[in-house]
Amino acid sequence: MKKVIFEGSGVAIVTPMDSEGFVNYAELERLIDFNIENGTDAIIICGTTGEGSTLSFLEHCDAINHCIKYVNKRVPVIAGSGSNDTNFAIRLSKKACEYGADALLVVTPYYNKTSQQGLIKHFTAIADSVDTPIILYSVASRTGVNIEPATCKELSKHPNIVAVKEASGNLSQIAKIRALCGDELSVYSGNDDQIVPVMSLGGKGVISVLANVMPKQTHDIARLCLDGKFDEACALSLETLDLANALFCDVNPIPVKEALNIMGFDAGHCRLPLCDMTEDNRNKLIDVMKRHGLVGVIN
């Protein structure tokens, strides 16, 4: 059995930007503290929600390094280090390891895509280049390529490939991965509305967008699942479902950044080509947040 990186709720933390569009490190620290103080079990930096794809190489490295230093071993830090260019992903992964990342989150190649054999070669090359555990990231809706269960099985043979963030939304596929890989590949839900079903199949937790704004509730859902209290976890998940859905009324991370701003944080705007949400969607988001008492709660 391979080492489990974390159990419970890992936040796919946003990268706050200042008024000039640069990374706002002071606000990133506030968001990290907010999560850790409310039970978040791991911090995932520079993933999809962290706008890793529009950070320069130096910004990406600086954000990872800053996060690791600031977290200071309070919880595991998982660095997003994927790319559609295998050599670039290796370069970024090596830097994250130098900084002391507890694990790497490596997304499937996007735009140029690849075959399943190409995925095996891509992830194996990255895993061979580092000694740090790797979480595969399967999100075909954004990359156009899915990691098939048989491919997960093959990749799970590598000692450094220890988990998969499964954001396909396909519970049948997740069940097949669990059946094929067993304890050689931990599974994390990549969708906040599927924490309970994925964990009922043996998943270890979630890499969550919702945890940015509801860290305690997201942690509690996962913790209840880990404790085998699936009825209670389901009830809490259904209570938060409207907000989990509202955070995807536009392209992630547009709504979650706006939600943090509405709460009172200074998350700023997304970088182009992501733009601000429409006023209609913003009003709908506010209505949902009001129901949960989240408007203006941060001083």
Residue ranges of domains in the chain: 8-227
For 48-72, what is each residue's pLDDT tens digit? 999 999 999 999 999 999 999 999 9
Phi and psi dihedrals of 98, rounded to 5? -55, -35
CATH superfamily of 8-227: Aldolase class I (3.20.20.70)
Rounded Cα distance between 206 and 190, Å, is 6
Beta carbons of 107 and 139 less than 8 angstroms apart:
yes
Rounded Cα distance between 69 and 67, Å, is 5
Rounded Cα distance between 197 and 70, Å, is 33
Residues 6+ apart with CB under 8 A from 117: none
Average pLDDT over residues 7-35: 98
The terminus-to-terminus CA distance of the chain in angstroms comes to 45
For 127-181, what is each residue's pLDDT tens digit? 999 999 999 999 999 999 999 999 999 999 999 999 999 999 999 999 999 999 9
Nearest Cα residue to 292 out of 268, 263, 258: 263
Nearest Cα residue to 185 out of 161, 211, 209, 205: 161
List the catalytic residues: 137, 165
Average pLDDT over residues 267-288: 97
Q: Give the percent of the chain with pLDDT over 70.
A: 100
Question: 28 by DSSP, 3-state: which?
Answer: helix
Residue 97's pLDDT is what? Answer: 98
Radius of gyration over every alpha carbon of the chain, rounded to an integer in angstroms: 18
Q: How confident is the model at residue 1 (pLDDT cuts 50, 70, 90)?
A: confident
Question: 12 by DSSP, 3-state: which?
Answer: strand
Q: Which residues pair with 188 in a beta bridge?
A: 165, 205
Residue 89's pLDDT is what? Answer: 98
For 74-129, what is each residue's pLDDT tens digit? 999 999 999 999 999 999 999 999 999 999 999 999 999 999 999 999 999 999 99
